[in-house]
A and B are shown apart, each in its own frame.
Chain A
Amino acid sequence: MIRVGVIGYGTIGQIHCRALQSVSGCELAVVADVDAGARARAQEDYGVDVVSDVEEMLQTTDVDLVDICVPTYLHEQVMVKAMEGNKHIFCEKPLARSLEEGRRLVDLSSNYAQKIGIGHVVRFTPAYVGIRQSVEGGEIGQAGVVRTFRGGSQFPVGWQDWFADVDLSGGVILDLAIHDLDFCRWLFGDVKRVYAKTSRKRTEAHLEHAMIVLRFKSGVIAHIEGSWTNLEGQFYTTIEIAGKNGLISYDSRETNPITIRTVPEQNVHVGAVAVDPYVLELQDMVQAILEDRPPLVSVADAFGTLQVALAALDSARTGQVIEL
């Protein structure tokens, strides 16, 4: 049984802890959080040991896999410590906040004896996995132009509102649009050029809307749109891929098998999935350890996506086209 220690019991940490209950071959052993209230909640929710941080986890408990769910700007330092403890590591996306941090992690991980996987969860989402299979199976021929949208939900709740500080979170590009940047890289390979714009200068952080234009080395053109517009209240994603022989089109709003109507204005749409993508990504990590194989998303792979996202941030800030 692989013993898992989750670092950070915020929004994503709670999702991971819940998902881990359904992952076979492992058990949630310890939860770390600097906040005493969060620790108490974790203990109450799962009856697990709690510690305050990664150091205490490494010193006082015996875990095999460290699952890093802290804010983005802390990923690198926590991962470095977990590597010093010679643990298997799973880390939420994005890999890091900066290029330097990302490079350091690539360097340190290249000869690392244990497994490291990065949580680009869209690669485990059924619709997107299916879309990738259709494209790779040649159903629409050579891809030419791609559009993605992700957003519409409430602004993410974070410790000390860290999402609102672009220096800490990278804003909507590094936190949200990165999912589609990663998915497109997974499908279409390396990006050649990036040009991006964001509304951040003119809206409060909680309403940031970003639009990124990518040109891939393969020639594919993509438009990636990410939105923290807490006015719609319903999270949704869309993707459309046009190829030489056809078009793939997906809108998550049209695929909810269940709509619950109770209180007016508060209809709930339910996308019924038997298996949670977070369970799948963590199961992949656990299997990688058990089978001694690399997890789906390596540090180097996640670094490739980070480079594109940071180029988009640079482009949005400077107004320049960024060649990769």
Chain B
Amino acid sequence: MVVRVGFLSLAHMHAYSYGRALNSLSNCILVGIYDPNQERGTKGAQAMNTQFFSDPEKLLTQVDAVIICSENNRHREFTELAAQYGCHVLCEKPIATTMEDGQAMIDACQKAEVKLQIAFPVRFATPVRQVKTMLDRGYIGEVVAISGTNHGQMPGGWFVNPVLAGGGAVMDHTVHVVDLVRWFLGQEFVSVYAEAGYGMLWDVDIDDCGMLSMELEGGTIVTQDPSWSRPRTNPTWGDVTLRIVGTKGIIDLDAYAQNFVVYDDAQNKVSQRSFAEDMDLGLIVDFIAMITDDREPSITGFDGLKAMEVALAAYESARAHKPIALNRQRQGSEYY
């Protein structure tokens, strides 16, 4: 079976990496790209060696699955449209900008009997998978504390528009680490405290730095730094790190450590070049296999919803200056 895939919007730059992955695989084909921004869509179609569609419904009749890389607040409308045409969905994170929208996406896909996967590619980073195995085997005993970072540079564009993005650094960079922790330990977050800083590092009105302090249902304490605190001169875009403290040891995980450094006099620039295995390729391989094998998504809409719930609670906490309790309900039960 060759899975036919299309893009709905290229607003998120990850689309290019996903496109490269699709083009490198033999069991799928990139049929085309719809983008409400015709210029962006045409340019992307050229770069990914595929066709631009000015009508999304025309594209949807020709594909089995779509990858949605729109602005965060448009994930719902594109997901609902794809579900209407019986297409499986891989949606960029965060799932949406409100719990209502996220739940509506899950419901729409369930009703249409299509699969919804959320793009958390870090789960497919080789060192991350190795740590998951070590934790499952109890290498460091019981996990009691986790200190995480997902730093980045200020992405600009629609990412700093509160309506389109649903938030700044806290929304953008909380969900990856929260998803990893949920996946590692199989536990839900029960409380979130956060500080958020607005325009403290960049000339933006949105939150560009913050700090979260959370607790899991088993009592494990977790902090997460989502700040866009990498300066323009930083040799790389950012990081994903976790210090995992167990009763029998500690694991320090740096998901993007596999790189070498280039000092370039001509560009007056120092930069890191990754030699790590491509996590985006891992994500796409998994998504396509989900369709060909007709199995459940490895990262569900519920996973996306729970990660966003933490980010939304962080904003609530930062406004109220107190910890926010989260719903402990798990997948399968009626939610919201």
Which A positions have Cβ atoms within 8 angstroms of B?
A: 140, 142, 144-145, 147, 193, 195-199, 201-203, 207, 209, 211, 213, 215, 219, 221-223, 225, 227, 229, 231-232, 240, 242-247, 319-321, 323
- Tell me the complex Cα distance, A193–B221, Å: 19
- Tell me the complex Cα distance, A59–B215, Å: 54
Cβ of B323 and Cβ of A242 under 8 Å apart? no
- Tell me the complex Cα distance, A215–B321, Å: 10
How many residues does chain B have at the interface if contact means C-beta atoms less than 8 Å apart? 38
Cβ of A142 and Cβ of B323 under 8 Å apart? no
Looking at the complex, which one of A147, A211, A219 makes contact with B213 (CB distance below 8 Å)?
A211
Cβ of B323 and Cβ of A221 under 8 Å apart? no
Closest approach, in angstroms, between the C-beta of A308 and any C-beta of chain B?
15
Cβ of A211 and Cβ of B147 under 8 Å apart? yes
Looking at the complex, which one of A142, A203, A221, A240 makes contact with B211 (CB distance below 8 Å)?
A221
Cβ of A145 and Cβ of B200 under 8 Å apart? yes
Cβ of A145 and Cβ of B209 under 8 Å apart? yes
Cβ of A145 and Cβ of B144 under 8 Å apart? no
A-contacting 9-mer, from B101-109, B176-184, B222-230 = B222-230
- Tell me the complex Cα distance, A197–B245, Å: 13
Cβ of A321 and Cβ of B245 under 8 Å apart? no
Check: B19 CB closer than 8 A to any chain A CB.
no
- Tell me the complex Cα distance, A243–B231, Å: 8
Cβ of B209 and Cβ of A242 under 8 Å apart? yes
Query: What residues of A have a CB within 8 angstroms of the CB of B144 in the complex?
Result: 199, 202-203, 209
- Tell me the complex Cα distance, A199–B246, Å: 10
What residue of chain B has the Cβ atom nearest to residue A202's Cβ? B144
Cβ of B215 and Cβ of A213 under 8 Å apart? no
Query: What residues of A have a CB within 8 angstroms of the CB of B209 in the complex?
Result: 144-145, 221, 242
Query: What residues of A have a CB within 8 angstroms of the CB of B191 in the complex?
Result: 319
- Tell me the complex Cα distance, A13–B230, Å: 42
Closest approach, in angstroms, between the C-beta of B98 and any C-beta of chain A?
26
Q: State whether A213 and B250 are in contact (beta carbons under 8 Å apart), knowing that A219-B200, A247-B229 are contacts in the complex.
A: no
Majority SS of interface residues in chain A?
strand
Query: What residues of A have a CB within 8 angstroms of the CB of B323 in the complex?
Result: 195, 319, 321
Closest approach, in angstroms, between the C-beta of A221 and any C-beta of chain B?
5
* Those 5 A-B pairs whose CB atoms lie nearest each other, nearest first: A242-B229, A144-B200, A197-B221, A145-B209, A199-B144
Known contacts A211-B223, A221-B211, A222-B211; 12 further A-B pairs (Cβ under 8 A): A144-B200, A145-B225, A197-B145, A209-B145, A211-B221, A213-B223, A223-B223, A225-B243, A231-B249, A240-B229, A247-B230, A320-B322
Looking at the complex, which one of A219, A240, A246 makes contact with B197 (CB distance below 8 Å)?
A219
Looking at the complex, which one of B193, B201, B233, B243 makes contact with A242 (CB distance below 8 Å)?
B201
Q: State whether A247 and B234 are in contact (beta carbons under 8 Å apart), knowing that A213-B193, A232-B250 are contacts in the complex.
A: yes
- A-contact 0/1 string along B227-257, CB 8 Å cutoff: 1011101100000000101011110000000
Check: B195 CB closer than 8 A to any chain A CB.
yes
Query: What residues of B have a CB within 8 angstroms of the CB of A215 in the complex?
Result: 195
A-B contact pairs, 7 of them (CB 8 A): A145-B210, A197-B213, A203-B144, A211-B213, A244-B201, A245-B231, A247-B234
Query: What residues of B have a CB within 8 angstroms of the CB of A203 in the complex?
Result: 144, 247
- Tell me the complex Cα distance, A188–B191, Å: 28
Query: What residues of B have a CB within 8 angstroms of the CB of A320 in the complex?
Result: 322
- Tell me the complex Cα distance, A193–B322, Å: 10
- Tell me the complex Cα distance, A137–B211, Å: 26
Query: What residues of B have a CB within 8 angstroms of the CB of A232 in the complex?
Result: 250
Q: Which of A203, A240, A242, A246 has most B Cβ within 10 Å?
A: A242
Looking at the complex, which one of B193, B208, B227, B250 makes contact with A195 (CB distance below 8 Å)?
B193
- Tell me the complex Cα distance, A147–B249, Å: 22
- Tell me the complex Cα distance, A159–B249, Å: 26
From residue 61 to 105 of chain B, which have CB atoms closer than 8 A to chain A?
none
Looking at the complex, which one of A145, A207, A247 makes contact with B247 (CB distance below 8 Å)?
A207
Query: What residues of A have a CB within 8 angstroms of the CB of B219 in the complex?
Result: 201-202
- Tell me the complex Cα distance, A323–B321, Å: 9
Cβ of B245 and Cβ of A145 under 8 Å apart? no
Looking at the complex, which one of A202, A231, A319 makes contact with B250 (CB distance below 8 Å)?
A231
- Tell me the complex Cα distance, A227–B223, Å: 14
- Tell me the complex Cα distance, A140–B227, Å: 16
What residue of chain A has the Cβ atom nearest to residue B249's Cβ? A231
Check: B55 CB closer than 8 A to any chain A CB.
no
